[in-house]
Amino acid sequence: MRRDRGFSPCGPPVVRRLLGLFLALALLVGSPAEAQIRFMRNATVGAGAHFQTWSRDTQAGAQELSIPFFVILPLGKRLSLDVVSGSGFASLDTSGSHSLGGLTDTKIRASYIVGDELALLNVGVNTPTGKTELTGDERQVSGVLSQNAFGFRTASFGQGLDVNAGLAMARKLGETVFGAGL
């Protein structure tokens, strides 16, 4: 078994260390980014409509109408609650016509500004309000919608229960904003 110790996907160790040092310095020394300053001022409610269609020839194609809606509620200077859901209808035309429609899952997220705008902490949950079982025809439509190459806005009508968390930082250093997150 041969190991090539000279290869590194991130470049030589010296370059990685310098990039890491530069990023850490930018995040610790710079001023808070503009997006952090404007965070959570007003309650917002919104909705929209998005239609997409793809076709391979005159006899095969997929269409989707998505109607997302959201609510953003500031719960103080540092805490915000977001709720995002929607509905959609999709159809697939091959040798016959197949369709899939209904509500999507609902995503609920709390965002909190840590310290003196040092970082943004997010905790969220995906609640299963969308489809939980599909027929054979609906499964075919879902298979096309979930293809990344097509970029359908509502790629899945239901994913089930999911909990997630994230942390993000952004700092302005001169005229440039540097950010990192996980």
In a domain, 6, yes or no: no
What is residue 11's predicted lDDT score, i.e. its pLDDT? 41
Sign, Cα dihedral of 178, 45, 67, 82: positive
The contacts of residue 90 (CB under 8 Å, 6+ apart) are 62, 63, 64, 65, 99, 100, 101, 141, 145, 152, 154
What is residue 122's predicted lDDT score, i.e. its pLDDT? 95
The answer to whether 14 and 21 have CB atoms below 8 angstroms apart is no
3-state per-residue secondary structure call for the chain? CCCCCCCCCCCCHHHHHHHHHHHHHHHHHCEECHHHHCCCCCCEEEECCEEEEEEEECCEEEEEEEEEEEEEEECCCCEEEEEEEEEEEEEEECCCEEEEEEECCEEEEEEEEECCCCEEEEEEEEECCCCCCCCHHHHHHHHHHCCCCCCCCCCCCCCCCEEEEEEEEEEEECCEEEEEEC
Q: What count of Cα atoms within 13 Å lies in the side-chain half-sphere of residue 101?
A: 10
Phi, psi at 120, each rounded to 5°: -120, 120
What is residue 1's predicted lDDT score, i.e. its pLDDT? 38
In a domain, 8, yes or no: no
The answer to whether 38 and 62 have CB atoms below 8 angstroms apart is no
In a domain, 90, yes or no: yes
In a domain, 4, yes or no: no
The answer to whether 137 and 98 have CB atoms below 8 angstroms apart is yes
Residue 91: both structure tokens together: 């159809």
What is residue 112's predicted lDDT score, i.e. its pLDDT? 94
pLDDT in tens, the chain (182 residues): 333 333 333 444 544 554 555 555 445 544 444 444 455 578 899 998 889 888 876 667 888 999 999 999 999 889 999 999 988 888 888 777 888 888 888 999 999 999 888 899 999 999 998 888 888 888 888 888 888 888 888 888 888 899 999 999 988 888 998 899 99
What is residue 35's predicted lDDT score, i.e. its pLDDT? 47
What is residue 181's predicted lDDT score, i.e. its pLDDT? 92
In a domain, 35, yes or no: yes
pTM beyond 0.75, yes or no = no
What is residue 55's predicted lDDT score, i.e. its pLDDT? 81
What is residue 46's predicted lDDT score, i.e. its pLDDT? 92
Range of the domain at 145: 13-173+176-180
What is residue 31's predicted lDDT score, i.e. its pLDDT? 47
What is residue 38's predicted lDDT score, i.e. its pLDDT? 52
In a domain, 157, yes or no: yes
In a domain, 125, yes or no: yes
The count of structural domains within the chain is 1
